[in-house]
Structure 1
Amino acid sequence: MSGRVVIVGAGMGGLASAVRLAAAGHDVTVVEKEEYVGGKARQIAVDGEAIDAGPTVFTLRDVFDDIFRAAGRRLDDYVSVRPAAILARHAWDGESQLNLHADPIRSEEAIGDFAGAAAVRGYRSFRREAARIYGILENSMLRAGKVSWPLPLMWRIGLWRMGDLIAIRPYESLWTVLGEHFADSRLRQLFARYATYCGSSPFATPATLMLISHVEAQGVWLIDGGMSALANALRQLAEEKGARFVLGERVERIEVTRGRASGVILANGERLAADAVIANADPAALGSGAFGADAAQAVPPMKPRNRSLSAMVWLAHARTSGFPLTRHSVFFSPDYPREFADIAAGAPPTDPSVYVCAQDRDASGRGECDTRERLQIIVNAPANGDTHSYANEERERCTLAMRRTLARCGLELEEPLPHALLTPNEFESFLPSTGGAIYGRASHGWAASFLRQGTRTRIPGLYCAGGSTHPGAGVPMAALSGRLAALQVAKDLASTRRFHPAVMPGGMSMRSATTEGTG
């Protein structure tokens, strides 16, 4: 049965929820404080050019195919999407370069040329293990509702499949297990980097996160117009199905009546009544009281020590020379443990690894780049944007460290560099109550996945969605969280209507005050 749903935030999770709920006939209103949709998938103008300032790697295309299919549409009718031939190009110095390809055979050949036959065997064994972990968890956890303890997960996987339960390796660190596959420290570092996709240290994350490399190996896709084009396509689709968008308006408070979410109050004083509210925001903001004292009871507060990484992000429109950039390129630090020790100590790394997204390069790495090109450059940093001020001197020092890494690997940027720099301070402003943590809760320790906020909250009628909610960070995972929220809302609304009729003979409509657990 249909109901009124207000979605707070138009990030990927909120947009995915909006499409599914509107397509199912619900009355959907999306409220977004910015003037655009997409959340972190935003663009910022530099030197007159719009540069993607958020996520750049698009994987698990099938997640979005499913969203459009649920609304009777096709993704390809809304955006131009094509596969990347090169997943990423990696460098350690001016001589050591390695491509990973969409074709795994080409990747094997490249690894063999780079590090020898033993490295190829290690890569094959690593791929098998990563694929097995993904296969075990894909439908039992990643695409299913959150479980709060290992035993329910064991039931989903099957208690009789003890080998699979052991195979996900939750009690060993990613860095340690990679040493079983790769004797070459460069390859160990390359595949350890996937921990940063969810804002975590490879020295503290469980080896379970090898599955991230398998996700990328299934295909990286390039979207004309960047990730914001995908967000705009989802908005268009949601509107076609009847959803309404209120942009440039901030939600002052999530209203709770008789123990249940009943609507939202905007900063301009307007009230939007709702049978269900989906908070497409970092749960840390919800728990800190950013949406009112009543709503703060919905989730546990986030402790700063549990935050994911933040970042220093340079958005540049610049000439480049030397290193042959592809769409995604990574330039590694010579001392990976020290890099993460610096971050753990509360400072950006002095000798950082650097990721560069060359947004004008095509699927093979070529592009019209004989003049200036649009670049997003990322260095990992601590999520201390609420306690530490990144003054101009420190910003310049970080910029010089970033340029040293690139120069060591052969990439030169024009000087002066036309750019804007986002630090943890800017991310804290954009993502309040997070310290600038971009990925929500860090995936450190065996229990991290069970501690991440789930779809349901402690307040009936109030739900969470987004990259900081189960199943985790990244564009497809945020969209999966939106799917889970939409399914739970629809199920709960149907149950409420069935057992608590909207109209009682001779009386007024009443809503259930039944409590729900966090899940």
Structure 2
Amino acid sequence: MASRVVIIGAGMGGLACAVRLAASGHDITVIEKESHVGGKARRVAVDGTPIDAGPTVFTLRDVFDEVFELAGRSLDDCVSVRPAHVLARHAWDATGHLDLYADPARSEDAIGDFAGADAARGYRSFRTEAARIYGILEHSMLRADKVSWPLPLMRRIGLARIGDLLAIRPCESLWKVLGEHFADPRLRQLFGRYSTYCGSSPFDTPATLMLIAHVEAQGVWLIDGGMSALAEALRGVAEEHGARFRTGTAVEGVEFHNGRACGVSVESGEFIAADAVVVNADPSALASGALGRNAARAVAPIKPGKRSLSAMVWLAHARSDGFPLSRHNVFFSPDYVREFADISRGAVPGDPSVYVCALDRGAGSGAALTGRERFQIIVNAPANGDTFDFTAQEEERCTRAMRRTLERCSLQLEDPLPHRLLTPNDFERFSPSTGGAIYGRASHGWAASFLRQGARTRIPGLYCAGGSTHPGAGVPMAALSGRLAAQQVAQDLASMRRFHLVATPGGMSMRSAKTGGTV
């Protein structure tokens, strides 16, 4: 008889977990409170036009190639994917811009033209170090189950390679080490920005996170229909293997029998039995009791001061003029120290860096488009959506600050701007108990990456997946968390079958008392 697994949440981690377990013969039910699958990979209508409101950068496509291949399909059969030749376009003022390319030699030439021969050599040394760090951690940490530092990680790396443990530079800040490669503060700022990919400050994250630059340098891909199309494709292949999806259904609590997760109760009062439960949500939801007070002991809570960044996100359908936009564009603040100091004290920066994803453009030269186009515009913000009310006046202040940054770099957006603004209040409502933190725990300090919640929890039969768990934030990392959760579930269920071969008398177990809360 197939083991029954309930997955709470149809984000990328939950979807990847569902495909893997369904393809291996388990009986899978995915329960999602929203009407769509994909979690943060969703679309919101603005001016009658659907606009991507979640992640926009797709890297490490091999992670998804493997998921689809395990299900007997290929990624290219299910979604239209093509490589981006320009990874991102960067500007500091109206005098020009700097592109990074899929071809590292072109990036090196562009950096040399922008900032001189020393900067080009610095980029070469930076790439070498980032690639080494990624190579050390790829299979020992990123694609493996959660591990502690230093001795357990050292055993995985190999005791004969003790130099590699120091080479990942966990005790030096990213900002400091970037100064060893780049004298030009603009380049230090550019490559320091990769820390924000996991919701963190370049001044507080370890230099280990240089590996993110290597991940992006391996290739950025464009998906027709955005990440929501990828999510729907994952749902489709999971359903081909028998997985059932119940969208628009909120889980009221995880239920337990004899100290082990035995299923979930949903808002209608229905109890869905399971041999294992996977929670694809921020672990803070579990710790706060949003899935029941008995489930709260499964994971450690994250203190508000340890949260990752949140964001102000403008979803716009508008005309633009001036700056030659590519698909991914970054417009930098003139004072990066002050920007993160503002966030640290709980304020949206008054002079922010701004990311603009021009969703209707390829990653090419930036030819002008006629008429309106779709934009996702992001400014980093504190994760205080549970304690601070972003009023209309505050939203207007932030919108003016965002526009000032763009106009300083010669990008003009239609005014008034047809848009919808998502604030930390909205992200808190979407992911309760997080304050609107988009990436879970911030990667601040040498130990932070080792403190993320792993697949197993303190309660037997209850597991975690998603971008707020190990190995970290981002679409491919969330999918890797789903792989790790699926592996742990399969391993534990196989162990139960080996060592508990007798039937339990008395028929169906009684569920525990309802514990309240919704998610």
Which residue of the partner structure matches residue 203 of structure 1? 203
Could you tell me how far apart the structure 2 residues matched to 1:81 and 1:365 are?
Answer: 19
Which aligned pairs between 1:256-271 and structure 2 lie closer than 5 A?
256-271=256-271
Following superposition, the deviation at residue 364 of structure 1 comes to: 1.6
Which aligned pairs between 1:148-163 and structure 2 lie closer than 5 A?
148-163=148-163
2:98 aligned partner, one-letter code: L
Contact 1:343 1:349 in 2 (8 A): yes
Which residue of the partner structure matches residue 52 of structure 2? 52
2:238 aligned partner, one-letter code: A
Where 2:317 maps in the other structure, the secondary structure is strand
Following superposition, the deviation at residue 96 of structure 1 comes to: 3.5
**Total equivalences in the alignment:** 510
1:380 aligned partner, one-letter code: N
Where 1:133 maps in the other structure, the secondary structure is helix
Which residue of the partner structure matches residue 102 of structure 1? 102
Q: String of CA shifts for 1:416-461, please: whole Å, max 9, x gaps.
A: 1000000000110111000000000000000001111000000000
1:237 aligned partner, one-letter code: V
Where 1:445 maps in the other structure, the secondary structure is coil
Which residue of the partner structure matches residue 433 of structure 1? 433
Deviates more, 1:134-143 or 1:252-261: 252-261
1:279 aligned partner, one-letter code: V
Contact 1:201 1:444 in 2 (8 A): yes
Which aligned pairs between 1:77-476 and structure 2 lie closer than 5 A?
77-366=77-366, 369-476=369-476
Could you tell me how far apart the structure 1 residues matched to 2:218 and 2:188 are?
Answer: 20
Could you tell me how far apart the structure 1 residues matched to 2:27 and 2:317 are?
Answer: 42
Q: String of CA shifts for 1:208-243, please: whole Å, max 9, x gaps.
A: 000000000000000000000000000001000100
Alpha carbons of structure 1 residues 367 and 361: separation in structure 2 relative to 1, 3 Å:
farther
Could you tell me how far apart the structure 2 residues matched to 1:254 and 1:409 are?
Answer: 50
Could you tell me how far apart the structure 2 residues matched to 1:450 and 1:185 are?
Answer: 30
Q: String of CA shifts for 1:72-126, please: whole Å, max 9, x gaps.
A: 1101011000000100000000014100000011101100100010001000000
2:425 aligned partner, one-letter code: N
Alpha carbons of structure 1 residues 367 and 229: separation in structure 2 relative to 1, 3 Å:
farther
Deviates more, 1:54-63 or 1:150-159: 150-159
Where 2:69 maps in the other structure, the secondary structure is helix
Could you tell me how far apart the structure 1 residues matched to 2:508 and 2:160 are?
Answer: 48
Could you tell me how far apart the structure 1 residues matched to 2:232 and 2:366 are?
Answer: 26
1:35 aligned partner, one-letter code: S
Could you tell me how far apart the structure 1 residues matched to 2:55 and 2:482 are?
Answer: 17
Could you tell me how far apart the structure 2 residues matched to 1:465 and 1:299 are?
Answer: 12
Could you tell me how far apart the structure 2 residues matched to 1:239 and 1:8 are?
Answer: 16
Following superposition, the deviation at residue 2 of structure 1 comes to: 3.3
Could you tell me how far apart the structure 2 residues matched to 1:444 and 1:304 are?
Answer: 13
Where 2:155 maps in the other structure, the secondary structure is helix
Could you tell me how far apart the structure 2 residues matched to 1:364 and 1:493 are?
Answer: 49
Could you tell me how far apart the structure 2 residues matched to 1:507 and 1:419 are?
Answer: 58
Question: What is the percent sequence identity of the aligned residues?
Answer: 75
Where 1:160 maps in the other structure, the secondary structure is helix
Q: String of CA shifts for 1:367-417, please: whole Å, max 9, x gaps.
A: 782110000000000000000001111100000000000000010001010
Contact 2:90 2:98 in 1 (8 A): yes
Could you tell me how far apart the structure 2 residues matched to 1:213 and 1:302 are?
Answer: 27
Could you tell me how far apart the structure 2 residues matched to 1:68 and 1:124 are?
Answer: 35
Contact 2:281 2:466 in 1 (8 A): yes
Contact 1:9 1:30 in 2 (8 A): yes
Alpha carbons of structure 1 residues 399 and 509: separation in structure 2 relative to 1, 3 Å:
closer
Could you tell me how far apart the structure 2 residues matched to 1:363 and 1:387 are?
Answer: 39
Could you tell me how far apart the structure 2 residues matched to 1:500 and 1:152 are?
Answer: 31
Contact 2:328 2:363 in 1 (8 A): no
Contact 1:351 1:405 in 2 (8 A): yes
Could you tell me how far apart the structure 1 residues matched to 2:311 and 2:55 are?
Answer: 12
Could you tell me how far apart the structure 2 residues matched to 1:57 and 1:464 are?
Answer: 24
Could you tell me how far apart the structure 2 residues matched to 1:502 and 1:18 are?
Answer: 28
Could you tell me how far apart the structure 1 residues matched to 2:497 and 2:368 are?
Answer: 57
Which residue of the partner structure matches residue 515 of structure 1? none
Could you tell me how far apart the structure 2 residues matched to 1:175 and 1:492 are?
Answer: 42
Q: Which portions of structure 1, spanning 4 or more consecutive aligned residues, are displaced by more than 2 angstroms? A: 365-369, 506-511
Could you tell me how far apart the structure 1 residues matched to 2:249 and 2:27 are?
Answer: 19
Following superposition, the deviation at residue 509 of structure 1 comes to: 9.1
Following superposition, the deviation at residue 149 of structure 1 comes to: 3.7
Following superposition, the deviation at residue 342 of structure 1 comes to: 0.1
Could you tell me how far apart the structure 1 residues matched to 2:473 and 2:130 are?
Answer: 18
Q: String of CA shifts for 1:333-367, please: whole Å, max 9, x gaps.
A: 00001000000000000000000000000132557
Which residue of the partner structure matches residue 516 of structure 1? none
Following superposition, the deviation at residue 256 of structure 1 comes to: 1.4
**TM norm structure 2:** 0.97
Could you tell me how far apart the structure 1 residues matched to 2:6 and 2:219 are?
Answer: 34
Q: String of CA shifts for 1:292-316, please: whole Å, max 9, x gaps.
A: 0010010011110000000000000
Alpha carbons of structure 1 residues 510 and 269: separation in structure 2 relative to 1, 3 Å:
closer
- For structure 1, the residue ranges without an aligned partner over 5 or more in a row are 512-519
Alpha carbons of structure 1 residues 172 and 23: separation in structure 2 relative to 1, 3 Å:
same
Where 2:38 maps in the other structure, the secondary structure is coil
**TM norm structure 1:** 0.97
Q: String of CA shifts for 1:268-290, please: whole Å, max 9, x gaps.
A: 10110000000000000100000
1:360 aligned partner, one-letter code: D
Tell me if 1:24 matches 2:48: no
Q: String of CA shifts for 1:17-66, please: whole Å, max 9, x gaps.
A: 00000000000000000010000000000001100000000000000000
Deviates more, 1:363-372 or 1:92-101: 363-372
Could you tell me how far apart the structure 2 residues matched to 1:184 and 1:254 are?
Answer: 53
